Amino acid sequence: MEQSFQTLGEFIIDNQSDFQYSTGELSRLINSIRLAAKTVNYQVNKAGLVDITGSIGSSNTSGEDQQKLDVYANDVFIKTLIDRQIVCGIASEENDDFICVNSSDGGYNNKYVVLMDPLDGSSNIDVNVSVGTIFSIYRRVSPPGTPVVLEDFLQPGNQQVAAGYIIYGTSTMLVYTTGHGVNGFTLNPAIGTYYLSHPQMTISEDGRIYSINEGNYVHFPIGVKKYLKFCQEEKDDRPYTSRYIGSLVSDVHRNIIKGGIYIYPTSSKAPNGKLRLLYECNPIAMIMEQANGKASDGYQRILDIVPTELHQRAPFFCGSSNMVRKAEEFMSS
């Protein structure tokens, strides 16, 4: 018997007064994201049936192979946001530069910029493993009525007004925060409506899962190697369980629900780590903190890093607060 949950639409309307200076613009923006996510979800779900899996034969700005679904998801989110005249600028992992939504689209007067990883974990799509979308929303710092500038996008994560992810998994969920806790909504695909299935999500202070690509072990910094040995030691409630999907969204979503730590450290191969600060680390860090967890680059709070480049990378440690704290101890010892 299905329970009768609140819908996302009802939730947005009921909580609109939480936003300072709210004019409904942020609510409409989140509405546009949920709509684009439904379109992408539809395509992801039938990916094996249509010619949309595999590589497109080109690389994105970080030199990574672009999958057809990366490009498709990117186009859907950008078009949905521009058509609704709801943002003044968009930056995406898949685009070299930010997009200025121009005045004929009404964009100059909008208050918010969106930064996104339109399809996270895309190398998993061909093997039917969960992928996601990550988004981050800031209030512009340049004056409304003018074109957006780079500074609108290069704000530290602690300035985010909202952040979230969509997971296209065994069921599709939208999980987001506007700075008042984290709420998760599950899509009922039969009627295309998201329902509040996971109200006020929190991650436990302690966890027993560690998620890291251990194949890179030899390239890891000594602090990470020591922390991994700690996780594997037979003592107290250890050894912990290792779980790594290779889709940040899926690994993080599982760890929030079960308790755990996710690590993508620097390595001798990737001296700044792999994950992108603006499209991946900052939004996930805001979600983690809002869920009582912690997010760090191994030494400092992710959300306090002042970015200097759109496609900047950062080492990333996030999850149960005591686990992240312990990993930081090993990094500094």
Closer CB to ligand AHG, residue 178 or residue 320? 320
Q: Is 152 in the site for Mn ion (CB under 5 A)?
A: no
CB of 221 to ligand AHG, least distance (A): 16
Which residues contact ligand AHG by CB under 6 A?
64, 93, 117, 120-123, 213, 246-248, 274
Sequence-distant (6+) residues with CB within 8 A of 157 are 136, 277, 281, 282, 283, 285, 286, 302, 303, 304, 305
Tokens 């010892």 locate to 333
User: How do the residues of the chain divide into helix, strand and coil, expressed in percent and rounded to 5?
Assistant: 40, 25, 40
Q: Is 328 in the site for Mn ion (CB under 5 A)?
A: no
Q: Which two tokens stand for residue 209?
A: 């899962």
Q: Does 117 bind Mn ion (CB under 5 A)?
A: yes
Residues in region 67-96 near Mn ion by CB under 5 A: 93
**Tokens 């007064």 label which residue?**
17
CA distances from 264 to 59, 162, 215, 253, 281 (A): 22, 23, 12, 15, 10
Taking CB atoms, the residue at the shortest distance from Mn ion is: 120
Closest approach of Cβ 247 to ligand AHG, in Å? 5
CA atoms within 13 A on the CB side of 153: 27
Q: Which is nearer to ligand AHG, 38 or 313 (CB)?
A: 313
**Judged by CB, which is closer to ligand AHG: 86, or 318?**
318
Q: Cβ closer to ligand AHG: 76 or 148?
A: 76
Q: Does 120 bind Mn ion (CB under 5 A)?
A: yes
- Report if residue 251 touches Mn ion, rule: CB under 5 A: no
Interface positions with Mn ion (CB under 5 A)? 93, 117, 119-120
